[in-house]
Amino acid sequence: MDKTFLNELNDELLNDILPYWINFAKDKESAGFYGSIDNMNVPDVNEERSIVMVSRFLWTYSAAYSIYKKQEYLDTADYAFHYLYARFLDVVHGGYFWSVNANGTPKVTRKQIYGNAFALYALSEYAIALYTAESNNVKAENSSNYIIKEALKLYQLLQDKAFDEKFGGYYEAKNRDWSWTEDTKLSEKDIDCCKSMNTNLHVMEAFSALILSLRTVMKDESEKIDSVRKSLSSLINVHLKYILQKNMHLALYFDREWNVLDPKEISFGHDIESSWLLWEAAESVGDFCDKDFVRKNIIEIADIALKEGFDDETGGMDNCLSHAGNRDTDRIWWVQAEAINGFFNAWQLTQDEKYINAVKKLWAWICNFQKDKKNGEWFNCVHKDGTPDNSNAKGGNWKTCYHNGRVCMELLNRNRP
């Protein structure tokens, strides 16, 4: 891989993405992180805060510490963990609230499985960061052994309360006490459904991270690792059997038996993101799945995403396509980041130059248009002509350093000697 490109990724991560959120996202008055930050870096101090946002901060700075061993990153991970446990953990019924008010009191106490999956993803990475610190004789506020046990508790809770033993996959949401609810939609852009692509995709992501964390921190716990491998293998099968459609796009919403609900759009970002997360999952479970079958499918997913979602002329990835044929050509920050991950993964598997060419063009788009060169970080949304949509907050409950920080770290890790 071109060293100039890798140096640019490293520079973007260390000199823009990671310092930006440390400087602007922390609420030093009432702890935690601001739920919204505008494009002038001004926070809305009254906006609620989500478990997704806090978990993504915890994951990113944990992952960054494991690579760079910078104390500031471990301190930020500790800060995020304390907020997570102090304000979001449900000490009565287990699991994590969906959101809290700016003052830290619970707001939406529903157990959104998507949010709990991100908490598991973050705890798994945090355990690795703490293990890294311990291995280098760095004093840490928590122990890796304690955090991995907390991650395992959450994994088991999801198995007991959110896993559908009859039809497979994970339910969309439960009430605070884990009883059934019809109030399940993830956001105002979504619909109420029994199961969704998005939730099951990120449960899969979390289980892959948990396996890596267990192998790192609890090397002799093969029984626990195999239990998660079995769960992850089942989820890979769900994706390929039910969520992935014949047109090689992922359907979005389902009933309990995996019948598709409201097939209103194709999400190019989720398609390409799923391709590399499926491969990560397959590598995590090893002989618990048919890797050749997984590989065949993810290459087809990546190929269709490239043909239908990528704009070769501008170098950006379109957002979505409705089944009525209406195309949303806005460039959303996370779609650009995950497209790089997905196409780079496809290139590594095939060595087909069309994928690496897409990676290079996407990075050029990001550097030229997605990055806010005046106020730092990346714009949430940029129109096809390169102008930013300032109605979208730069940071907050959905946009953190997770997607763009991860793409930098993912490619850097994949290209280390």
Cα 51 from Cα 106, distance rounded (Å): 11
Tell which residue, 305, 309, 371, 378, has the closest CA to residue 342.
Answer: 305
* Mean pLDDT of all residues in 189-205: 97
pLDDT of residue 220 exceeding 90, the answer is no
Q: What is the mean pLDDT of residues 117-137?
A: 98
- Per-residue pLDDT reduced to its tens digit, 367-382: 999 999 999 999 999 9
Reported confidence tier of residue 130, pLDDT bands at 50, 70, 90: very high
- pTM of this prediction? 0.98
SS3 225: helix
> Tokens 């009525």 label which residue?
324
Position 219 scores a pLDDT of 79
CA distances from residue 235 to 19, 103, 167, 208, 282 in whole angstroms, order as listed? 36, 37, 11, 11, 10
**Are the CB atoms for 378 and 16 separated by under 8 Å?**
no
Average pLDDT, whole number, for the chain?
Answer: 97
What average pLDDT score do residues 205-232 get? 93
Question: Which structure tokens are listed for 182?
Answer: 């019809």
Residues 6 or more apart from 63 whose CB is under 8 A from it? Answer: 125, 128, 129, 405, 406, 409
Q: How confident is the model at residue 323 (pLDDT cuts 50, 70, 90)?
A: confident
Quote the strand ranges of 150-228, DSSP E: 173-174, 195-196
pLDDT in tens, 257-289: 999 998 889 999 999 999 999 999 999 999 999
Is pLDDT at 152 greater than 80 in this prediction? Answer: yes
